[in-house]
């Protein structure tokens, strides 16, 4: 005697093994995707995603090694200065925050907020 059930994703009638839940790998993948999509994003994933986005944005805008960019331009791209991986303090006392190998320092010049963007250098390890 064979038991017929329905696919958990598409609802088609299943034939074959009695413990079968999906009609094909695509339905299994689609079901798992929908199920995960309903779960709230985990804190770790939010932080990791923002760090990756910050790095991507800093890399995109820092083509010259050291660049100054208006804060509003970075912020409109999705940049969030509250997320960084480490920091470096230069000899002047300025603290650069880094998203992996790309760093930034917030400055205000004539009431305009700007970021000075740099890239990690070997001499910064000391």
On the CB side of 118, CA atoms within 13 Å amount to 18
Task: Report pTM.
Answer: 0.68
| pLDDT computed for residue 1 by the predictor | 47
List pLDDT tens digits, range 51-90. Answer: 999 999 999 999 888 999 999 999 999 999 999 999 999 9
Structure tokens at 72: 């509003």
- Residues 95-119 have pLDDT tens digits of 999 999 999 999 999 999 999 999 9
CB atoms within 10 A of CB 56: 15
């Amino acid at each position: 005697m064979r038991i017929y059930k329905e696919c958990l994703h598409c609802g088609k009638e299943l034939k074959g093994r009695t413990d079968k839940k999906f009609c094909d790998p695509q339905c299994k993948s689609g079901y798992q995707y929908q199920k995960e999509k309903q779960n709230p994003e985990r804190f770790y994933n939010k932080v990791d995603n923002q760090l990756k986005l910050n790095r991507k944005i800093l890399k995109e805008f820092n083509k010259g090694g050291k660049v100054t960019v208006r804060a509003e331009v970075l912020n409109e791209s999705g940049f969030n200065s509250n997320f960084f991986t480490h920091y470096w303090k230069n000899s002047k006392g300025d603290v650069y925050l880094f998203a992996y190998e790309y760093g930034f320092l917030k400055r205000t010049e004539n009431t305009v907020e700007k970021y000075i963007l740099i890239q990690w250098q070997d001499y910064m390890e000391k």
